[in-house]
Amino acid sequence: MRKGAIVIIVLVAILAIIVFSVIGAYNKLVALNEEVETTLSEIDNQLQRRNDLIPNLVCINRRQNVKD
């Protein structure tokens, strides 16, 4: 092989490593973003359940106050 062909092969290999590294980093960021969205959704669900329980607690408190 000629020296020029070896240089081109090495450059293509380095470029391929860089491209695959960038793709891998992007995929990891997408996965982390999905995890954050899932966690925030779970938090929203918990807050909604708590908010739905407040009227029941108020009702129980009123009944207790009426008894006293």
pLDDT of residue 63: 83
Domain-wise residue ranges, the chain: 1-68
Give pTM, 2 decimals: 0.66
pLDDT at 14: 98
Token pair belonging to 14:
């380095």
Lookup: tokens for 55: 């009227």
Answer yes or no: is pLDDT of 1 > 80. Answer: no
d(C-alpha 16, C-alpha 12), whole Å = 6
Per-residue pLDDT of 5-61, as tens digits, reads 999 999 999 999 999 999 999 999 999 999 999 999 999 999 999 999 998 888 888
Q: For residue 68, what pLDDT is reported?
A: 63
